[in-house]
Structure 1
Amino acid sequence: MDKHEHRGRFMGFLHNAVSLPRSIFVSHGIATRLHEIKAKLLDISESAKLLPHEESSSSHDANESWPYYAESSHFALEEELVGIEENKDELIGWLKDKEPQRRVVSVVGMGGLGKTTLVTKVFNNPIVKQHFQCYAWISVSQSYKIEELLQTLLEELYASTEEDLPDKIFQTDYRRLVQMLFNYLQDKRYVIVLDDVWNRQAWDDIIIAIPSNQFGSRVVLTTRNRKLGVEDKAFHLQPLDETDSWALFSIKAFWNIPNKRCPQELKRVAEAIVGNCEGLPLAIVTVGGIMSLKERSELEWEKVEVSLSWEICFVEVRRDLTMEDIAENYLNELIHRSMIQDVGKGSCQLHDVMRDLAQSIAEEENFCMLCHGKEERHDFKARRLLIQFNGGDISRSPCMSRLRSFFVFGKDAIPSSSLNRISSTFRQLRVHLQTTESAILRNTKVRELPKSLARLRNLQTLDIRHSEVEKLPDWITKMKNLRHLYTYRSAILNYFNVCGAPPIPYCRYFGKGVQAPSRICDLKCLQSLLSVEASAEIVQQVGNLTQLRELGITKVRKDYEKELCSSIQRMKGLRNLHITANNGETLQVEELSSPPHRLQLLVLEGHLEKLPHWITSLRNLTYLHLKLSQLKEDPLLQIGPLPNLLVLLLSKAYKGQQLCFVAGCFPRLKELYLSELRNLNHVRIEQGAMPSIKKLSFHQCVGLTTLPEGIEHLSGLRELRLMEMPVELIEQQKKDGSEVQKMVQHIPIVLSFL
């Protein structure tokens, strides 16, 4: 791809990014935006003449918004003007030289190189303005009305001399406007800037009104067109070099960090992002501004780097982004714009008004339908059906043959007979969610999968969580399009969720998987497999599932270590990993020399002889749960430096007597849960440790009779839980005026239960 063409497409990407706030409200805009972006790219690219140009309904709006980018250059901060000093000084010198003949200078370069920024800096210089008797600036752009341009030119010129504007210029025709301008300028030393001139016709329409006098007048134009051929002198702007590019990016991306210095863990991916901007100041400023709002984790920044390094071609599907990745990006964007509320606990919700509106539009456009199990409707046209099940026969629900997605929610158990009847009517189903967590609390009666599901060759999601299914049938291996398979039976960890206290959502584990045929590993499209019981064949072949993002595997025997570690190393995109040892056996995972670097969630359940060395390399890890590890050495020394860890659970994970949280450890940790560390009798928290901690919970640490030393250093702590802790500690915490009570007086919520 030609270098200029590549940059032109990059500018199209930026163009689209700035237009996003408006277009995000368009119904089903996500699907059509690819075509709109293509039209914008073709319109902006320097290589537009070589490419077929298409107009779309929204491209006109986008073109109208583009001039505002140039206008914003007038307000660029001084610190953002990187790499222009030499050109600025040369241009000022040329404007002020003693040559009496009117001269024309053009500043040439592709979009985003900083032409307007450079000329703005020169034009606004007091020395320049004092040198001329009058001055004006007009933005021409690709689509212009010549009368409006000349009227603006007159306004600016008269304003610069503080003279009264002639009457009725806004009702004057083109010929009269030309004459008025010519007469006004012919005996004055003027400087006029024509910003964003696209073609020779625009130049000819304007220059006829600007006289070529002998008073040292100057005309400056900015253009992408190297072939205008109207200038006496041309400045050909070049991209910023690596040093200036990095300096400008740092100013925008790290504006709220001391010295605007890039965190070390982001240096590699940040440099790659800057490299993809190819020295274009507008690209660097725009992308830098976007990155300043992103979570400062390597994984989040890598997502942006991937999207920018994909040759900026919005026509093809992104190589490294799945539909789930793209959907997550859209979800985050909606949260950022407050259209969806992030309520924590890995959940989002809609405001009631927004939900009603969304439901109304969805039903009106036949996108999806929500009904109750006892309803019987025959006017059903939607491809997605959500049933709020409250008993009854759901097989009487609307016709199922056209469905792509089928969801059932509710508190009642769903009879297997109903599932068999309705599943036999599915023809095009892609997503099938059978039960919800609330159903497991009522012991769903689904014990085996209906055989009729075997015909659903397009099925992409099968969710039988919390059911009584213990074994997957052999026919499931024929579902070649299956992407997500959820089979686990999770258990709430009651040692943190004590009766009377608000539940803690993170305290669950996926200890029970299902038996699966070994050929389950032939389903190459699988991205989620949670959870299956280990077998010699599965641990060896699961590495063939290179698309996996989530893996849960239980009953892992000690002698499976080599094969399992080898398989995990092949899953480069793995994000969530749950490994549970076979009953009573040691969990061996030390041979995992190169773990998936994108891993975000890790659960290890079972005895560990030592903490796996590779955990320290998981720079993107946000959630870590060690259960039944029984470690002899303090694990905090190894996991404390993890830069992005947000949640840490240690459940029977440590046999030692002391834990020390050293200064600087766990820089982003928000929630810490310690349970059944029975030998623990002293916890010390140094100043500067866990600076972001919000929740701290202890459960059955029976030897810990005092609060952690240094707990007062946790100034941001919002909640402390003491569950089934020693009686003397609980009594001291509840005693008015006690030392323990004074230690926690800065914590808004303190909960304690015996």
Structure 2
Amino acid sequence: MADVVVSFALENLKTLLIHEANLFRRVKDDVNLLQDDFGIMDAFLKDSEGKGDDHYMVKELINQIRDTAFDAEDVINTYMAQVIKQRRRNLLLKLLHCFDHAAVLHHVAEKTPSVKRKIENIYANKTIFGIEAQSHADEEAEQSLQQQRRRNIEEEDVVGFGDDTAKLVDQLLDQGRLQREVISIIGMGGLGKTTLARKIYNNSVIKNHFDHCVWVNVSQEYKTRMLILDILKCVGQVSDETNKMSDEQLKGELREKLKGKRYFVVMDDVWKPQFWDEIRTCFPNDSNGSRILITSREKEVASNASSTPPYFLPFLDEEASWELLCKKVFRGEKCPSNLESLGRQLAESCKGLPLSIVVLGGILANKEKTHQRWSNFIGNVNWFLINDDDSKRCSDILALSYNHLPRKLRLCFLYVGVFPEDFLIPARDLIQLWVAEGFISVQNGRRNMDEIDVAENYLEKLIDRSLIQIASRRSDGGVKSCRIHDLLRDLCIKMSSQEKFYEVHVNSAYVRRSLNNRRIPRRLSIQGNIDFDSISSTSTSNNSSSVGSLLLFTSDFRFNHLKWASKNFRFIRLLSVVVNDLNLDLNFPKEVGQLVFLRGQWRGGYAVNVWKSFPAFICKLPYLETIHVQGWIEMSIPNEIWMMKQLRHLYIPCGIALKSPSKVGHSLSNLKVLSLVHVGEKTSILFQKSLFPNLRKLHLGNLVQDVVDESMASEILASLESLRNLQTLKLRMFKFGQRLDLFSSSSSSSKLTKITFVDCEYLDSNHLMGSLGKLANLRILKIRGWRISTSQLHFMAGEFPQLEVFKMIGLRDIETWELETHAMPNLKHLVIDRCTSLRNLPDELWSLANLRMVEVSNIETDLKEKLVIKQSEMKENGYSCKLIIN
């Protein structure tokens, strides 16, 4: 992975030197030389990726390139900080504090020629260093690892797959589906996909049902010709003439031998989606119920092979985990009673991953079976699985998924390890961190996409590769929160620490030691209640300024923590603080204003924090793109915020007061997200002046009752016509008049896809719905806590043409709902909660072709009884929509 981390550092440096050329005018020649040298180093890294990694000279050179890149980054940061600081001074101070521009970059330029000479030497001896091609030894190692992976699981008695086996066997034998069908089992490495497939393959009913049963191991480095020959050997004799056939002739030969036969072929461990395209013509479709079963870690493999939804293999439950561990450790004997409690804890710590349980069982089986010995493993299971020499195969197997990732996804995946163990990761926070770190680049040709869109796509790709798990989804189907299995997290931390990508520390001693190392990591994640006072009292290395990102996860947060961070990490680009159980009056320390490179700043938490003010010096940070402050800010945002040309995301969940700019021409031209703004008499003026030309998401709130009357609400909504790129709108505690043409201009509403009303008041609900129903691209509508005078909802034909999600929560006055034919034809998901007066759901609802889920809860008893009957009817008739009654 070193080449990816170092390559990222080099690319950042090259980009920085180009984009900030005005800061380097006095050292232009040195900069040009550095750019050329960095380009050569980066080309070498990309050319040598995956080749010759085991040669000590190649590895040593990669380490030298990393050190050179990091040194260059530190020097360039120092230079830029001095230039920026000098520009802030008046003329007299500039003369007193001038510095030698050329000398600053000189010692970095001295290092690069020696690195270039070594690169040239390696290129001149490609064969010796293994750069030219992947060696045969590497292929053998990969095959050995694949065999070890299968042996780890298959040698064990099968545990916990009874229901999975039954479901898949029924699907394979379904006589109602005679077309040839491809079925896929998808899950992360070590989850037991091969074990389940083998159990199905060996099932006597399966053996008797199919004329031919074939098992082939595919793996990452498969050869299509060899796979076809392996299948041919299973269905008949392979002659010398067959071995001489071309690849296309072999495919035809296999197709002829399978023609008219009902066959079952298992293709285990498929990695590449194009695999199916290469082999599909071998398998005839004779409408006789033939089946192909694929196992893979990647959802895209399944999607490319078949429209049949894949089977996502779940993790083992606690009981199955304990049973599997016992079988591995005691080999048929009963666990001693004094070890059962400890053993169950150890099994549970594997989080349902069979590979972890099997490898842990192998370690424990060879250890003394005593309470004291087993106690040593409590809290340290993952360390043994990742670091212990006897269990290194566990990390090697999981690392296969990492090695198979495209370069652009590797850093994003590794970065997930910065979060604490078992942390429920908000997808929005993770995506913003990726963007702030510079991991996301928008390629040319991606129209209407920004970094956030690309980052969301990256997250979905990591999920599809079974490396990240979805914890919850948003109403529009996007990921709301996610998590990573502990074993994968520890693997990320280990790999990142080795390459100084980041380090994770959970106690003060480790933090002190890290800060005093000669080569400090570029990112630090500090978790738990660290004694910052003791860290601050000790001298830290000058290298601490090399830290580019600092992430704090703590419940013991105080004023001096930010002060300490600002003092010790002068060149920090990202500062993230996630605080739990905090309820304090806080100030932003003035030292934060010295962090001239800061791009992202978070203040997280679950309790209410009160910040005395939002200081003007925050607004003077030239690179700041994201501000996320959790808590109340007593004073309004300073007027200097309008000078922040780089600001893209401003999240203040408890709300801010925002004034118009004092100077003409100032605007937040790059702002895309603004949440939450306290509305007032002058709010409409903010939007009438076109101060937010690229705003995509807006949250407006009337947090003081009756401040926004009907006339003011109408003005504010009319002013939003200027937001040509607005996609998401959320309104809180608005009071609307009896007549209101909401978003009447088709040009302004063309991009609105999501609208949310929270605790709003509207006198004519049907008029509002008619206005919303005309929005051509509205896909999500949420209404929570609505006060109205009417008791009926009526949706007319043609309204809500693209609506996919509709949520009604706390609409206590609604009694009846009527839905005309051809209204909301694309509705997929309906949620009704705490609508306690509602007596019916329209019959037309159940005729909607795209409806997939209806969730109702906290409703009137009579309606609940009707829906229970409807639920039973839907199950009997095989209705595609799922009705959930809570």
TM-score of the pair, normalised by structure 1:
0.50
TM-score of the pair, normalised by structure 2:
0.43
Q: Considering only CA atoms, is the larger Rg found in Structure 1 or Structure 2?
A: 1
